[in-house]
Amino acid sequence: MAKYNVIITVFVFALLLNAQAQLTNKVAITPNIDLTLVEWSNGASTNRYNSSDEILFMVSAVDGKGHVFALLRPEQSFIFDLRDARGNSVAKTEAGLKMSKSVDITKGPKEMGIRHQGVGNQLNNLFVPDKYFVIQDKGVYTLDLQIRAWVQKTNSQYGVVISPPMRVEIDKN
């Protein structure tokens, strides 16, 4: 019996590792709001981007209704990390460091400088990977990204949520 428990545990662990390694350019910020990354050059939704191209993002309502949503200040909106093929983190440039500041999510909207806005299918600039990371070698890198957003959590409560991570590839030619 113990032998089967070990086999099942190893199998479940392998499935979890595989699920974490999946590429995805779309995550749910809340059950009703999605974040999607889009390629600047053709507006296509993809899991691979060129390091020299602008990556765009779009926030959209799953149910087509209006929802309370606001981005934080640009320098606080995203959590991002780039890793090489060996899994080593790639250093951020000065611009990358400036745009990845932490935020105290216990503060209110005024202290955080939040401007309420609705959810729409508008494309917004995220960044050009070459401008935010010191990518010296050619190859394929992995970008992990999360968004911090001000949303309605319950019928009467609002606050900052952090999306699950999304993972895409960055190609340095």
pLDDT (tens digit, 0 to 9) for every residue of the chain, 173 residues total? 555 444 444 444 343 334 445 899 899 988 888 889 988 777 778 899 999 999 998 888 888 776 777 777 778 889 999 999 999 999 999 999 999 888 887 777 777 777 666 666 778 889 999 999 999 999 999 999 999 888 877 777 788 889 999 999 999 99
* The length of the chain, given as a count of residues: 173
The pLDDT value recorded for residue 120 is 66
Whether 19 is in a domain gets the answer: no
Quote the pLDDT of residue 3: 52
37 close to 24: Cβ distance less than 8 angstroms? no
Q: Taking a C-beta distance cutoff of 8 angstroms, is the pair 82, 170 a contact?
A: yes
Report the alpha-carbon angle 67-73-75, nearest 5.
130
The answer to whether residue 137 sits within a structural domain is yes
Tally of domains within the chain: 1
Whether 8 maps to a domain, the answer reads no
Domain holding 100, by residue range, is 24-172
Beta-carbon contacts of 114 under 8 Å, excluding residues fewer than 6 positions away, are 70, 71, 72, 73, 150
pTM: 0.79
Contacts 24+ apart (CB under 8 A), 87-95: 90/133, 90/134, 90/135, 90/141, 91/133, 91/134, 92/132, 92/133, 92/134, 93/131, 93/132, 93/133, 93/134, 95/131, 95/132
Domain membership of residue 12 (yes or no) is no
| Inside any domain, residue 5 | no
Q: Which tokens go with 68?
A: 């309370």
The answer as to whether 149 is a domain residue is yes
Q: Is residue 65 part of a domain?
A: yes
Q: Can you give the CATH number for the domain in which 51 is found?
A: 2.60.40
13 part of a folded domain: no
- Looking at residue 6, what is its pLDDT? 44
